[in-house]
Amino acid sequence: MKKSILLFFIFIGNMTYAQDFHVNLKATGLTCAMCSYSTQRSLERLDFVESITPDLEETSFLIDFKKDKFIDFDLIQEKVEDAGFFVGEIEVIFSDEITAENDKHSIHNGNLFHFFSDNDSKSKTFKLVDRSFIPRSKFDIISEKTDHACYMTGKKTSTCCTKHESTKSNKIFHLKSDI
C-alpha cells in the first residue's frame, strides 16, 4: 500500500513539472553513440530541460521541459553546437491540438510563439522556423508573407507583440504548421 501511494505521488509530481509542449530535435553530424551522448550531456545542462530521450537511429532527441520555465531555443542550438554538432530541425509538439491561425501570436506556459500556417488548421506538431533554424531561402519566403517585425528580430516589438505582457522573456519563437 505504501509503495502504491509513493508511486502515485511520484507520478503526479512528474506531471506537474511538464510544459504543455516538448520538442523533437533532429541533429546533424552525429555519427556514433558517443556523439549522441555528448550532445545529450550538453543539453542536460540547461536549467529548463526536464528529461531527454535520445533516438540513435534518427539522430534525434525528444526533450521535455520543466513547467513554468522559459524555453530558449537559441540556447538549445548553442548547446548542440558546443557539443560539436548542428540542429537540423526542431519540431515543437503540443500536448493538445491547437489551431494555428496564420500570422497570429499565442502564449504557452509564458513562452510566446508566432504561428504561420497556409491554412488555419489544427495540429499538435509545428516546425521552428526562426532565422537560424531554417535555410535562408525558406526564411525569405516566410518573411515576405508577414509584416510582423518580430520575425526579423526574434524579439517582441512595439509594432506587433505589445499585448503579450505575461511572457517570461522578450524573445519570441516562430512556428509553422503544414510541415
Domains of the chain, CATH where assigned: 2-176 (3.30.70.100)
CB–CB of 123/161 below 8 Å? no
**pLDDT top residue among 158 and 3:** 158
Indicate whether 159 pLDDT > 50: yes
Task: Pick the closest to residue 171 from 43, 93, 45, 73 (CA basis).
Answer: 73
DSSP 105-139: EEEETTEEEEEE-SS-EEEEEEEE--GGGS-HHHH
10 alpha-carbon distance from chain centroid? 26
Task: Please say if the pLDDT value at position 158 is more than 80.
Answer: no
How far apart, in whole angstroms, are the C-alpha atoms of residue 55 and residue 40?
11
Q: Do 39 and 83 touch, CB atoms closer than 8 A?
A: yes
Global pTM reads 0.84
- The per-residue pLDDT of the chain, averaged, comes to 84
In this prediction, residues 66-80 reach a mean pLDDT of 93
pLDDT for residue 9: 37
Q: Is the pLDDT of residue 3 over 70?
A: no
pLDDT in tens, 94-148: 999 988 888 888 888 888 899 988 877 789 999 999 999 999 999 999 999 888 8
Q: Residue 57: pLDDT above 60? A: yes
What is the reported pLDDT for 63? 97
When pLDDT is cut at 50, 70 and 90, the band that residue 24 belongs to is: very high
Quick one: CA torsion of 44, 66, 155, 85, rounded to 10 degrees?
20
Whether the CB-CB separation of 101 and 168 falls below 8 Å is answered with no
